[in-house]
Amino acid sequence: MTRLRLLARLVGASLWSRRLAISLVALAVAVSTILFLSVERLRTGAWESFASTISGTDLIVGGRSGGVQLMLYSVFRIGNATNDISWESVEDIVALDDVDWIVPLSLGDSHRGYRVVATADAYFERYRYGRGLSLEIEQGARFDDLFDVVLGAEVARALDYEIGDRIVIAHGLGAAGLVRHDDLPFTVSGILARTGTPADHSLHISLEAMTAIHVDWASGARAAHTTPAEVLRARAAEGDLAPNSVTALLVGTTSRIAVFRTARAINEYPEEPLLAVLPGVALQELWSVVGTAERALAAVSAMVVLTAVVGLVATLLATLEQRRREIAVLRALGARPGIVAGLLVVESGLVALVGVLVGLLTVLAATPVAGAWLRATYGLDLPVGLSLREALVLSGIVVSAVLAGLLPAWRAYRIGLSDGLGGGG
């Protein structure tokens, strides 16, 4: 106990005598901790946001292609479908015993570079993202008229649209548009709350509206005669504008067990080649392709931790040369080499511990504020607590600092009285 008490007093006195330099070292460790935790949480948040782009949907169904391609065009609005699904096939899928609900999606048109998604009213109720969150109308309402359009938050912000504005949809994709449906303009009826998903970058219309604007089209060209909007509204009221086909389906099943049974039935559907994929599996496969940024962030996290430990050791070694006389005096007063070496090891671990705690408390205090901003701006959900991985890494920083302190401790152990009190000191 006497030796430990002496060591504690020596550590306290030594740290206090060099409080400015030690504070800067602890601050460097704290900054490294903040950087590590920030990068780690952004990395985790990016993956969780990507993985939860769509939730609550058991299957995504499209024309026979690949799972990644189906996920890209149906959920992320990237690329094009190889084949559509006929409406007769949609009705057959709805009739399956294990199917609870479906949400059809029809793609192919655009507005100033943003995708137009034709869908049913159930889309706003069934589409889930994040931790089971549903789409919310921030302004206005859903479809009331045949030619109503609901905008994603980013579309409304980027194009400065408000409720009541009239817009024209273009046939085909691309920022310039191909041929515009200017004879049948749409009115902005609603604007969605920001979600951080592809819904923010989409315009949503009804399936009947998609059919209506293509009534007078054939082979990608508009006929000379155009049907008046009022006639199309009357036909829609009579149920005469059902689509001939859709691009994809979001499907919910009656139970988890029924998912695989339904997927097999759809994949073996004899009338036309279809593909049913589980969103989670397709997202994992897609992330393995596009997850380079996540791996880069993980590498940055490792480098930040390494930098913190190396910086601490470098600082201890640099100050060791300045403390040769102090160490020699301690030896002259009777301190054993082991006490001197232990002094440096304890100092190294204590400085790292203080830096880690300061960094951790800073991040925990800032996470709710930063998380709210990231959630509103980019749709990223940051973890609130401390994960097991983070706790292990932070503990590893302290343990590494203690182990790293053995190098200057070994050098201090070898310092003799003549080294510190002689002319070389």
Share of the chain above pLDDT 70, in %: 79
Window from 20-34, 113-127, 241-255 with minimum mean pLDDT: 20-34
The percentage of residues in the chain with a pLDDT greater than 90, rounded to a whole number, is 34
**283 found inside a domain:** no
Per-residue pLDDT, averaged over 145-152, amounts to 95
Sorting pLDDT into bands at 50, 70 and 90, what band is 195?
confident
Q: Check whether residue 164 and residue 233 sit in a common domain.
A: yes
- For residue 152, pLDDT over 60 is answered with yes
Residue at a domain's end among 246, 277, 308 = 277
Between 312 and 416, residue with greater pLDDT? 312
Coil/strand/helix, residue 410: helix
Confidence (pLDDT) at 246: 95
pLDDT at 397 over 90: no
Q: Do both 219 and 258 map to the same domain? A: yes
Q: What is the pLDDT of residues 289-302, one digit of tens each?
A: 766 776 777 787 77
- The answer to whether residue 109 is domain-embedded is yes
Range with the lowest mean pLDDT among 14-18, 88-92, 376-380, 418-422?
418-422
DSSP run (H or E) holding 259: helix 256-267
pLDDT average, residue stretch 359-376: 82
Residue 351 has what pLDDT? 83
If asked whether residues 73 and 161 sit together in one domain, one would say: yes
Q: Are residues 45 and 64 in the same domain?
A: no
pLDDT band for 105, please (50, 70, 90 cuts). very high
282 assigned to some structural domain:
no
325 pLDDT band, cuts 50/70/90, is low
What is the reported pLDDT for 176? 47
Examine residue 285 and state whether it is found in any structural domain, yes or no: no
Section 218-223 average pLDDT: 62
pLDDT at 188: 96
DSSP classification of residue 55: B
Q: Are residues 96 and 238 in the same domain?
A: yes
**Length of the chain as a residue count:** 425
Residues 246 and 342 placed together within one structural domain of the fold: no
Return the ∠ at Cα 95 (arms to 92 and 99), rounded to 5°. Answer: 110
Choosing from 247, 277, 307, the residue where a domain stops is 277
Q: Does residue 367 have a pLDDT over 70? A: yes
33 with 121, same domain? no
Q: What is the pLDDT of residue 136?
A: 92
pLDDT surpasses 60 at 64:
yes
284 domain residue, yes or no: no
pLDDT beyond 70 at 112? yes
Residues 80 and 217 occupy one common structural domain? yes
- 3-class SS of residue 211: helix
Looking at per-residue pLDDT, the higher value among 315 and 28 belongs to: 28
Q: Which pLDDT band, with edges at 50, 70 and 90, does 352 fall under?
A: confident
CA dihedral 259, 75, 214, 245 (to 10 degrees): -20
Does one domain contain both 67 and 176? yes
Tell whether 353 is covered by a domain.
Answer: yes
Q: Which residues form the domain of 341?
A: 2-51+291-421
pTM score, two decimals?
0.70
Look over the chain and give the mean of its residue pLDDT values, rounded to a whole number. Answer: 82
- 8 A C-beta contact, residue 74 and residue 261: no
Is 218 inside any structural domain?
A: yes
pLDDT over 80 (residue 415): no
Same domain, 247 and 141: yes
∠ CA 372-373-375, rounded to 5°: 65
Q: Do 44 and 92 lie in a common domain?
A: no
Say yes or no: 191 and 327 in one domain: no
Where is pLDDT greater, at 47 or 377? 47
In tens, the pLDDT along 227-260 reads 888 988 898 888 888 899 999 999 999 998 999 9
pLDDT of residue 177 exceeding 50, the answer is: no
How many domains does the chain contain in total?
A: 2
Q: What is the pLDDT of residue 334?
A: 58
CA distances from 38 to 32, 86, 292, 364, 388 (A): 10, 48, 18, 10, 15
- Any domain includes 114: yes
Distances from the Cα of 391 to the Cαs of 33, 142, 238, 359, 396, in angstroms?
Answer: 11, 46, 62, 13, 8
pLDDT at 357: 93
Out of 229-238, 289-298, 316-325, 359-368, least confident range: 316-325
DSSP 4-52: HHHHHHHHHHHHHHTHHHHHHHHHHHHHHHHHHHHHHHHHHHHHHHHHT
State yes or no: pLDDT of 417 exceeds 50: no
